[in-house]
Amino acid sequence: MTHTIKMFLKLGSLENITDLYENGTIYINTIEFFKKIEDNDLRGDNYEGTSEIINSLPGTFRIPEIDRDIKYEKIHLKKSFDQILGNIYSLYCISSKGFPNPLDFKIDEKNLRFGTHCLMIKNSQYFFDKIKSELKNNGFDFRHGFVNYYEKDKITNKELTLFDKPEEFEYQKEFRFYVHNNNLEPIKIQIGSLKDYAEMIETKDLTELKIELKK
């Protein structure tokens, strides 16, 4: 299903958002960074790069060495690679996927933890094309798309991709670029000033942001 993107938002510190606004600096961090960072489930996600999840029904397993049966209520297993190469650039996306009814739009205040400032990228297609062009010019292979969210304690035997995340992150309404990179290093590109098609605001003002329908 094709979804309409209304606007991208990028939240962060005053320094980083100003750099994006004035110079178009796109900082694409490693997947390993997001797996290991501990920040109360904001950017950090230890399920990042999980390839499969198995949730079992209640049952019993036997330990022959002690001749005993052990009952369990549930077993939760996740499979992932020890190390996942590649980098991710994430954006908050106001779209028909996250908000089927535009009038229902309201940003979750948990997003305000990302930083003091936000860039509202109003010409999302132009911004999107500029990133793609610069990545291609630098010889990177990449993919992009909406993140899908799943209930990690309920799904089972489901193959997951780098565009799947646990539902507790759903409030972030993420659209991401995945960039293949054999080096465990961040990638930085520049796409030029965004001043002609973006607006910089304080993050706290996002709670007043509304979507209006054109008549």
Asked if residue 142 is part of any domain, the answer here is yes
Residues 37-61 have a mean pLDDT of 61
CA 74/CA 55 separation, integer angstroms? 7
pLDDT in tens, 186-196: 999 999 999 99
| 171 is a domain residue | yes
Stronger pLDDT, 71 or 179, i.e. the higher one? 179
Indicate whether 73 belongs to any domain. Answer: no
Cα separation of 86 and 88, whole Å?
Answer: 7
204 in a structural domain: yes
Residue 41 Cα to chain centre, angstroms: 12
pTM of the model as a whole? 0.81
Q: Does 170 map to a domain?
A: yes
Neighbours of 156 (CB within 10 A): 13
Short-list 55, 26, 30, CA closest to 44:
30
143 within some domain:
yes
Q: Which domain holds residue 19?
A: 5-50+81-208
Residue 85 domain-assigned? yes
Residues β-bridged to residue 188: 27
- Domain assignment present for residue 46? The answer is yes
Tens-digit pLDDT profile for residues 123-167:
999 999 999 999 999 999 999 999 999 887 777 666 788 898 889
Under DSSP, is residue 32 helix (H, G, I), strand (E, B) or coil?
helix
Number of domains forming the structure of the chain:
1
SS3 119: strand
Give the up-direction half-sphere exposure of residue 57: CA atoms within 13 A in the CB hemisphere. Answer: 0
Specify the pLDDT at position 34: 84
Instruction: Please give the torsion angle defined by the CA atoms of residues 171, 186, 44 and 24, in that order, rounded to the nearest 10 degrees.
Output: -30
